């Protein structure tokens, strides 16, 4: 059954793949991004996209007033939505743990936790009978980073700490929202991906592969199956879960 799905962070590596998969599955995709040009480029690159199944809004999703305005426009145009995928995320620059500032924490928590809450609340108001909300987490919400796979000269512990903690908070927010909206038949789940192949250094890829049960990084076509399942009615009794899609990376 075709559904109307809001997708944030639609122009990034994962977002663009999910957008393509949802369009191919026959859904209408309502995309959010900060960059209008990137949204326009995304649409041009999707051969399935047309005026009926692709809608794009360029705005700062962490701006609460902007969120309200955009959702008012969506309500007027689309009447209702069936799903929301909170895919947009924030990472600070590479920095040592000792150099982390309170501002680094606040910026990440605002985009990775508070914004998904605001968007989920707004989307739920447009789901009159039932719906599905998916928060994109990370394996770093489940386990801490293994620094042995990264180049030693990179200052990553600060970045990975803030990112992992914020994603862990998002996964826990998923559980609270699932209890809050369950009686309205709105399901809220998280999906936590492992590393995705994206032209990384060969040394990193080799080390990462050794850490996974399946001996490889995720390819883009590994990402969308779980999303299509959670959006569909086949998962109508699944809520409050964090589904880890990592090829067995977190088994060890």
pLDDT in tens, the chain (252 residues): 899 999 999 999 999 999 999 999 999 999 999 999 999 999 999 988 888 899 999 999 999 999 999 999 999 999 999 999 999 999 888 778 888 899 999 999 999 999 999 999 999 999 988 999 999 999 999 999 888 898 775 778 888 999 999 999 999 999 999 999 999 999 999 999 999 999 998 999 999 999 999 999 999 999 999 999 999 999 999 999 999 999 999 998
- Beta strands per DSSP E along 69-205: 83-86, 131-136, 186-193
Angle value at C-alpha 167, between 163 and 173, nearest 5 degrees: 150
Q: Are 123 and 131 in contact (CB under 8 A)?
A: yes
Exposure string of 85-104, with b = 16+ CB inside 10 Å and e = fewer, is: bbbbbbebeebeeeebeeeb
What is the rounded CA–CA span in Å between residue 130 and residue 182? 9
Which pTM was predicted?
0.95
What is the rounded CA–CA span in Å between residue 138 and residue 81? 25
Residue from 116, 138, 110 nearest 6 by CA: 116
- Identify the structural domains of the chain with CATH numbers, from first to last: 4-251 (3.40.50.720)
Angle value at C-alpha 199, between 85 and 207, nearest 5 degrees: 100
């Amino acid at each position: 059954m075709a559904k109307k799905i809001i997708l944030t962070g639609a122009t990034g590596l994962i977002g663009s793949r999910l957008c393509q998969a949802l369009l191919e599955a026959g859904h209408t995709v309502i995309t959010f991004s900060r960059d209008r040009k990137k949204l326009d480029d995304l649409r041009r690159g999707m051969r399935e996209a047309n005026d009926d199944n692709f809608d794009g809004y360029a705005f700062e999703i962490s701006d609460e007033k902007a969120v309200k305005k955009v959702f008012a426009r969506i309500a007027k145009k689309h009447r209702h939505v069936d799903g929301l995928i909170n895919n947009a995320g924030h990472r600070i620059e590479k920095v040592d743990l000792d150099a982390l500032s309170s501002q680094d924490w606040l910026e990440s928590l605002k985009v990775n936790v508070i914004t998904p809450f605001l968007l989920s609340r707004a989307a739920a108001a447009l789901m009159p009978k039932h719906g599905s909300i998916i928060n994109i987490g990370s394996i770093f919400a489940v386990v801490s980073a293994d620094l042995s796979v990264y180049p030693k000269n990179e200052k990553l512990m600060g970045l990975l700490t803030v990112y992992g903690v914020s994603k862990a908070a998002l996964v826990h927010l998923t559980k609270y929202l699932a209890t809050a909206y369950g009686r309205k038949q709105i399901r809220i789940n998280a999906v936590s991906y492992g590393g995705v192949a994206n032209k990384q250094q060969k040394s990193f890829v080799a080390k990462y592969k050794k850490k996974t049960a399946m001996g490889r990084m995720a390819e883009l076509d590994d990402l969308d199956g779980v999303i299509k399942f959670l959006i569909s009615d086949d998962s109508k009794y699944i809520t409050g879960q964090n589904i880890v899609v990592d090829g067995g990376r977190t088994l060890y």
